[in-house]
Amino acid sequence: MAGATRTPTNLTQGGKTDAGIGASTLRPDGTLKVTGEFAYSSDMWHEDMLWGFTLRSTVAHAEIVSIDTSEALAQSGVYAVLTYDDLPTDVKNYGLEIQDTPVLAHGKVRHHGEPVALVAADHPETARRAAAKIKIEYKELPVITDEASALAEDAILVHEGRDDHHSGHVPHPNIVHRQPIIRGNADEAAKKADVIVSGEYVFGMQDQAFLGPESGLAVPGEDGGVDLYVATQWLHSDLKQIAPVLGLPEEKVRMTLSGVGGAFGGREDISMQIHASLLALRTGKPVKIVYNRFESFFGHVHRHPAKLWYEHGATKDGKLTHLKCRIVLDGGAYASASPAVVGNASSLSVGPYVVDDVEIEAIALYSNNPPCGAMRGFGAVQACFAYEAQMDKLAKKLGMDPVEFRQLNAMEQGTIMPTGQPVDSPAPVAELLRRIKAMPLPPEQQWLAAGEGADVRALPGGLSNTTHGEGVVRGIGYAVGIKNVGFSEGFDDYSTARVRMEVVGGEAVATVHTAMAEVGQGGVTVHAQIARTELGVEQVTIHPADTQVGSAGSTSASRQTYMTGGAVKNTCENVREKVLDIGRRKFGTYHPAWATAELLLEGGKVVTDAGEVLADLADVLEGEAVDLELEFRHRPTEAFDLKTGQGFGHVQYSFAAHRAVVEVDTELGLVKVIELAVAQDVGKALNPLSVVGQIQGGTTQGLGVAVMEEIIVDPKTAKVRNPSFTDYLIPTILDTPTIPVDVLELADEHAPYGLRGIGEAPTLSSTPAVLAAIRNATGLELNKTPVRPEHLTGT
Amino acid sequence: MDFLRPASWEEALAAKAELPTAVPIAGGTDVMVEINFDHRRPEYLLDLNRIADLSEWEVGEKTVRLGASVPYTRIMENLRAELPGLALASHTVASPQIRNRGGVGGNLGCASPAGDAHPALLASGCEVEVESAARGVRMIPIDEFYLGVKRNALEPDELIRSVHLPKADGPQQFSKVGTRNAMVIAVCAFGIALHPETRTVRTGIGSAAPTPVRAKEAEVFLAAALEEGGFWDSGAPIPPSVAKQFAQLASGACNPIDDVRGSAKYRRHAVGIMARRTLGWTWESYRGNERSAQCA
Amino acid sequence: MRVTFTVNGRKQEADDVWEGESLLYVLRERMGLPGSKNACEQGECGSCTVRLDGVPVCSCLVAAGQVEGREVVTVEGLADFAKQRAEKGGCASGACGTSLQDAQQWQSKPSDSELRSRAADSQTGENTDLSPIQQAFIDAGAVQCGFCTPGLLVAADELLERNDSPSDADIREALSGNLCRCTGYEKILDAVRLAAARGENRTAGQGA
């Protein structure tokens, strides 16, 4: 990008060649990140750039009677004001799976905070003041906020005239997608049950709350195209949605990933990408858009809030007989990832247990609530909250230990999922539970440890000084969960890696180029490790992710180490063969081993499997570079049958178990989580340090939604009531306990290096474990998360 | 917008007299949020950071004169003995970074019922020193300072210079409920100060009524119960029935609302619990059993 | 308006500053110092933490005009600030100039040893000039997306300046104004413990 002063750079990292897979190699971007030099999307800067601003609807559901932008346009310093009428082509909508989301509202707004107009100006304040002068007249419509209002006789359709691929099979146009799963005969099996428990569970709307708000820079190109520097989870998916709306061929929309300040699903959908591009193309100037925290709450989808009805039966010796459940997810005004969330919620609704007879239904609604879509755990989180509460209820009713009850019903390799799919790799559910139960418990009353009165920092309420031990009761709870890895249901899920090997400065080095979005998870670290392992080099350069290379798929579904890691491995293996071919051509006549032995690249040399050095890589590659770009796919999956839910739907499963120890101030209803112990099977830890970091981070997000995190939507107006970090609370370091992690490595033979996707599983079981511990401390039923002080005090 | 940078208190008063709509900014922890989030566009910002006097305090024989901009961190670190209730409250304010910038002047100027300093100020029985160029200094008793939701007794041309707080003559406590263990706005809060010299008790309640309020009935009840039972002299434990009644009266002094931070019913309940506990802590302390929080 | 103040030891001047701009905006958009991060702009996350006359503050809540004539240290100047402190027992004003280019191409020598043994191993980041707390954040795995990192570094560095052997509770209290969404804080605690264990004198100024 000519003229820009701040853009993403190569990450070059040297290192011993034993800093390959399995080592806790440090991040190649670590230094840039600790010095403040790492270029995040909000740091993009161009000399003559303008600032874009998005005017959003102040009501949730309304007809737009008129928009008057004349006064805004007349402001000095304003370069453009755009509305729906200014969109350049016939394509006005975008969307991940269903293109139902207007770039700018047309005739109607369907949720609070929907983008209506755009302003570009020479200063953010100029843009804000101009936007305030845009006059919009709304005629408010009744709001749809739950299942009853969505499916009522006279319900307004959130989207008229649907013709998407789900519209034909859903029972009502305000249902985005419905997935039943029927296997065996739940009614018959229920007759064998000695105990039956049921419950209605409510899961609140969680926000990803990544720390780096949506932002980026669009620079108009001389060819009429645009260069876009953004933070996203999937460059190529963005590209497919952006280019048609701009009326540009994909090659004229050149996307580069800039630094991403966390994602957790919240960057799966488009936010400011199209808006900045439209303004840049209209004004002919670079345009930067940066959301503040308030706007960020409206700028991305959230985790689906859910209502779940569960009925389980068990025999008196503790064997599960059947499951009936119904899961209603609120997808909000636009589809986003709702269909896939429905697929996950239904297919994983049984949890990691053996239940042969099931009757399951999951739906996602269209409503006027904020749009919901991807967030870490994706449908499996809500289900886990419900089935784990059920397990505790069953164990209690049977008088059994909750861990033993779970172990008795735990799935294992060979178990058939309710979808009919066999679990064909290790599923150490009982073992994970055994391990967390065996961990030593944290000492009691740690607030007295310092010896001079109570240390409030170790008590519920923390610094707020609410108790010195009064009313505090300890509780312990367990939970375990199952998450799918990778894109499911027949999706053509692939990734691409380009690897170049050449001699630079007398040394053989590798460059890895993928479009993988590094959102903090450490993919760039792992790619360099894989290249070292496969190519025997020390120095590896990670090229910035962009659309000049094939798609990497999304940084979601715990899939990137498997998929783009797999792609890097696959390309490296092919590069290695090419390198060996060159070696054979150049040096084959000097040593018979070139033709006969198994050859490896190690320590910058070609060696035989017996360890004999045949050549320096630098000599082999002298004057020749090897450069390959290849795609990598996981094994194919199938769609779930729309009536029975049967099908080989998932690629791989991932399991984690938690033990939560909490202390509850039972009088004030305040909770301090003392410890969250985790055991997780990761297949193969490519980078143990990163693995533990992912598990601890995922665990903490689960803790957040257990005790504090919820976007509160007014049921009368469908307006968001707490779009700020003052009132949407995420855990601080004083809310977060010690998180001991026990990592198992049981290889999955289908996956590269036997690895298992790890990012999401720890978010699942963390929440129900904390809830179980609070129930254990208080004796309350607690069917809703997050738990509020009101729930614990009956107020 | 204009940015005014008075170099002295007199200049600040003159500016405020000339431009009564000027918004004073010291720690910036409220004003800048409103500006960043486009909630407010004052015509003039009146920066008080350059007036060194506002960040100073004097410990006198009977009172502490606390400059309006003395950061909460300084209060926590330096005035724990003289102003224990306010020091405890200061420790619960937002985050370390905010405590490094904010002072009681901001809480008083905003007069949000959720300001953490209010219950401690009410319980201490302080006076607020305000001044205008035209009429000079005026001392406003804290009981007369809060007029309504985010409304206080300041005239448009006045600025808050300091707070005069009686030095503690007995134990004081402060407790606040938030739904996070740090960096949280109060759902509700309670402050209590025992005044053995006058054999009285004062209280303050935050976030449980349109303004910060005292639980006056509870104070009167407790003072009478302590007096009648000879507790000030005997130092005997307070009977649970007295503590219970005190807590109920404190709850009764609330007039809360339901909002995203908590329900009205919970606020009443929690104020009662905090009243009972903080009474227990202060009374234990009065009896000589040092059981206060280590990091209080 | 015009605002003049000292940033990382260098006198800086910004013109045409809108009166409602924060120190954070001026640093990021006018002075080419985007290290301090704009995560919430309401004092509820600590990502924009800088030292203002030595005191950690949220730069999003400091009006640009309030900084006139004062001294600011940002994450970009942290390495030099720590170096000066180690050499002189405190950062002398006026001479803490920072070189932003130095740290760009760091070559790591990955360590396969456990965290605790890393405490004695100062080979990581040999060619860079990092403060002890910066190096510890890298070594302990305390950086994931990194958006909270600059603010945490400034806050943690100030904690260790006040208290060279903080308890876990002390660390938690000092960092309770800095949100992190990626790590669950465990490795951040590790990093502060590691920096404290290494101690400033052993490592500062030695590029590790």
C-alpha distance across the termini of chain A, in Å? 58
- Would you say residue A187 lies in a domain? no
| In a shared domain, residues A452 and A529 | no
In which residue are the tokens 């007398």 written?
Answer: A506
What CATH number does the domain containing C19 carry? 3.10.20.30
- Would you say residue B7 lies in a domain? yes
| In a shared domain, residues A527 and A663 | no
Q: Give Rg (Cα) of chain A.
A: 27
In order of A341, A668, A788, the CA distances from A777 in angstroms are: 33, 13, 15
- Would you say residue A13 lies in a domain? no
- Would you say residue A736 lies in a domain? yes
- For an interface test with B, the pick among A466, A700, A714 (most B C-beta atoms closer than 10 Å) comes out as A466
> What pLDDT score was predicted for residue B93?
97
How far is Cα A679 from Cα A682, in angstroms, rounded to an integer? 10
- Would you say residue A750 lies in a domain? yes
Chain A contact for C117 (CB, 8 A cutoff): no
| In a shared domain, residues A612 and A506 | yes
pLDDT digits (tens, 9 = 90+) for C141-150: 999 999 999 9
- Would you say residue B159 lies in a domain? no
| In a shared domain, residues A575 and A622 | yes
How far is Cα A719 from Cα A59, in angstroms, rounded to an integer? 7
- Count up the domains in chain A and report the number: 3
In order of A153, A254, B208, the CA distances from A167 in angstroms are: 18, 34, 50
How far is Cα C179 from Cα C146, in angstroms, rounded to an integer? 11
Chains that touch A (3 or more CB pairs under 8 A): B, C
Say if the Cβ atoms of A795 and B265 lie within 8 Å: yes
| In a shared domain, residues C180 and C83 | yes
Helix (H, G, I), strand (E, B) or coil at B200: strand
In chain B, which residues have their Cβ closer than 8 Å to the Cβ of A731?
Answer: 180
| In a shared domain, residues C54 and C82 | no
Say if the Cβ atoms of A739 and C184 lie within 8 Å: yes
Residues in chain B: 296
C-alpha distance across the termini of chain C, in Å? 42
CA A304 from chain centre, in angstroms, equals: 13
> What pLDDT score was predicted for residue C146?
98
Q: CA nearest C80 in A: which residue?
A: A35
Say if the Cβ atoms of B47 and C63 lie within 8 Å: yes
> What pLDDT score was predicted for residue B292?
40
How far is Cα C137 from Cα C173, in angstroms, rounded to an integer? 18
| In a shared domain, residues A538 and A659 | no
- For A288-337, where are the alpha helices, taking DSSP H only? 293-299
| In a shared domain, residues C135 and C69 | no
How far is Cα A513 from Cα A10, in angstroms, rounded to an integer? 10
| In a shared domain, residues A616 and A657 | no
- Would you say residue A98 lies in a domain? yes
- For an interface test with B, the pick among C16, C49, C66 (most B C-beta atoms closer than 10 Å) comes out as C66
How far is Cα A680 from Cα A300, in angstroms, rounded to an integer? 30
List the beta bridge partners of residue A509.
Answer: A502
Cα torsion angle, A401, A403, A404, A408, sign: positive
| In a shared domain, residues C81 and C163 | yes
Say if the Cβ atoms of B91 and A467 lie within 8 Å: no
- Would you say residue B140 lies in a domain? no
Instruction: Say whether pLDDT at C123 is over 90.
Output: no
| In a shared domain, residues C120 and C65 | no
- Count up the domains in chain C and report the number: 2
In chain A, which residues have their Cβ closer than 8 Å to the Cβ of B88?
Answer: 465
| In a shared domain, residues A539 and A656 | no
Residues with pLDDT less than 50, chain A = 1-3
| In a shared domain, residues C83 and C115 | yes
In which residue are the tokens 């500053």 written?
Answer: C17
- For an interface test with A, the pick among C8, C27, C38 (most A C-beta atoms closer than 10 Å) comes out as C38
Phi, psi of A182, rounded to the nearest 5 degrees: -120, 125
Instruction: Say whether pLDDT at C121 is over 90.
Output: no
Give residue C58's domain range: 3-73
Q: Which among B177, B186, B296 has the least Cβ separation from residue A668? A: B177
Say if the Cβ atoms of C56 and B25 lie within 8 Å: no
What CATH number does the domain containing B237 carry? 3.30.390.50
Residue type, A377: G
Q: Which among A40, A263, A725 has the least Cβ separation from residue C42? A: A725
In chain B, which residues have their Cβ closer than 8 Å to the Cβ of C60?
Answer: 32, 36
Residues in chain A: 795
What does B99-155 look like in DSSP terms, one character per residue? HTT--HHHHHHH--TT-THHHHHHHHT-EEEEEETTTEEEEEEGGGTEEETTEES--
Chain A contact for C123 (CB, 8 A cutoff): no
H/E run at residue C198: helix C186-198
Residue C141: both structure tokens together: 């795995």
In chain B, which residues have their Cβ closer than 8 Å to the Cβ of A462?
Answer: 180-182
Q: Which among B1, B5, B96 has the least Cβ separation from residue C68? A: B5
| In a shared domain, residues C109 and C32 | no
In order of A229, A413, A683, B118, B202, the CA distances from B216 in angstroms are: 61, 68, 65, 15, 8
Question: Number of B:C CB contacts under 8 A?
Answer: 95
Count Cβ atoms below 10 Å from residue A630 Cβ, excluding itself: 18
pLDDT digits (tens, 9 = 90+) for C17-71: 999 999 999 999 999 999 999 999 999 999 999 999 999 999 999 999 999 999 9
| In a shared domain, residues A520 and A565 | yes
| In a shared domain, residues C36 and C65 | yes
pLDDT digits (tens, 9 = 90+) for C149-170: 999 999 999 999 999 999 999 9
A175 Ramachandran zone, left/alpha/beta (phi>0; psi -120 to 50): beta
Q: Which among C21, C106, C110 has the least Cβ separation from residue A16? A: C110
Say if the Cβ atoms of B28 and C1 lie within 8 Å: no
Say if the Cβ atoms of A261 and C107 lie within 8 Å: no
Helix (H, G, I), strand (E, B) or coil at A525: helix
- Report DSSP state, residue A685: -
Is residue A39 a contact partner of residue A6, using CB atoms and an 8 Å limit? yes
Instruction: Say whether pLDDT at C104 is over 70.
Output: no
How far is Cα A754 from Cα A786, in angstroms, rounded to an integer? 36
Q: What is the dihedral of CA A53, A55, A58, A59, to 10 degrees?
A: -130
- Count up the domains in chain B and report the number: 2
List the beta bridge partners of residue A672.
Answer: A663
What CATH number does the domain containing A253 carry? 3.90.1170.50
| In a shared domain, residues C7 and C40 | yes
How far is Cα A110 from Cα C42, in angstroms, rounded to an integer? 28
Say if the Cβ atoms of A735 and B181 lie within 8 Å: yes
Q: Which among B5, B41, B96 has the least Cβ separation from residue C65? A: B5
Question: What is the reported pTM?
Answer: 0.95
- Report DSSP state, residue A38: S
Count Cβ atoms below 10 Å from residue B73 Cβ, excluding itself: 21
> Can you state the angle between helices A560-587 and A523-535, rounded to 10 degrees?
30
Give residue B14's domain range: 1-45
CB within 8 A of A160, min separation 6: which ones?
none
How far is Cα C85 from Cα A83, in angstroms, rounded to an integer? 55
Band of the pLDDT at C205, cuts 50, 70, 90? Answer: very low
Give residue A97's domain range: 43-141+221-260+267-285
How far is Cα C22 from Cα A125, in angstroms, rounded to an integer? 12
In chain A, which residues have their Cβ closer than 8 Å to the Cβ of C112?
Answer: 18-19, 23-24
> What pLDDT score was predicted for residue C189?
98
Chain B contact for C41 (CB, 8 A cutoff): yes
Q: What is the dihedral of CA A423, A429, A430, A432, to 10 degrees?
A: 150
In chain C, which residues have their Cβ closer than 8 Å to the Cβ of B261?
Answer: none
| Mean pLDDT rounded to a whole number for chain B | 96
Peptide bond into A786 cis (omega under 30): yes
Is residue A646 a contact partner of residue A419, using CB atoms and an 8 Å limit? yes
In chain B, which residues have their Cβ closer than 8 Å to the Cβ of A727?
Answer: 185, 260-261
Q: What would the 3-class secondary structure string for A337-361 be?
A: CHHHHHHHHHHCCCCCECCCEEEEE
| In a shared domain, residues C86 and C47 | no
Mean pLDDT by 10 residues, chain B (296 residues): 96 98 97 95 97 97 98 98 98 98 97 97 98 98 97 98 98 97 97 96 98 98 97 95 98 97 98 98 84 39
CB within 8 A of B262, min separation 6: which ones?
A788, A789, A790, B177, B179, B187, B188, B270
Helix (H, G, I), strand (E, B) or coil at B88: helix
Q: Do the strands A62-68 and A599-602 form a parallel or antiparallel pair, or are they unpaired?
A: unpaired
Is residue A201 a contact partner of residue A786, using CB atoms and an 8 Å limit? no
- Would you say residue B157 lies in a domain? no
Q: What proportions of chain A, in percent to the nearest 5, are helix, strand and coil?
A: 30, 25, 45
Chain B contact for C170 (CB, 8 A cutoff): no
C94 Ramachandran zone, left/alpha/beta (phi>0; psi -120 to 50): left
In which residue are the tokens 């928009």 written?
Answer: A67
> What pLDDT score was predicted for residue A450?
78
| In a shared domain, residues C134 and C69 | no
Question: Number of A:C CB contacts under 8 A?
Answer: 230
- Would you say residue C148 lies in a domain? yes
Q: Which among B38, B186, B266 has the least Cβ separation from residue A128? A: B38
In order of C65, C115, C152, the CA distances from C56 in angstroms are: 18, 28, 10
Residues in chain C: 208
Chain A, residues 576-635, CB within 8 A of chain B, namely none
| In a shared domain, residues A115 and A230 | yes
How far is Cα A378 from Cα A381, in angstroms, rounded to an integer? 6
Q: Which among A465, A789, A793 has the least Cβ separation from residue B174? A: A465
What does A84-151 look like in DSSP terms, one character per residue? GGG-SSS--EE-SSS--EESS--SEE-STT-EEEEEEESSHHHHHHHHHT-EEEEEE-PPP-SHHHHS
Say if the Cβ atoms of C18 and A738 lie within 8 Å: no
Q: CA nearest B47 in C: which residue?
A: C66
In chain A, which residues have their Cβ closer than 8 Å to the Cβ of B295?
Answer: 455-457, 463
> What pLDDT score was predicted for residue A452?
76
pLDDT digits (tens, 9 = 90+) for B83-133: 999 999 999 999 999 999 999 999 999 999 999 999 999 999 999 999 999
| In a shared domain, residues C135 and C177 | yes
- Would you say residue B18 lies in a domain? yes
What does A137-162 look like in DSSP terms, one character per residue? EEEE-PPP-SHHHHSSTTPPPSSTT-
Q: What is the dihedral of CA A269, A697, A764, A707, to 10 degrees?
A: -100
What CATH number does the domain containing C192 carry? 1.10.150.120
H/E run at residue B87: helix B84-91
List the beta bridge partners of residue C172.
Answer: none
In which residue are the tokens 């929907």 written?
Answer: A114
Number of Cα atoms under 13 Å in the Cβ half of residue B123? 38
Chains that touch B (3 or more CB pairs under 8 A): A, C
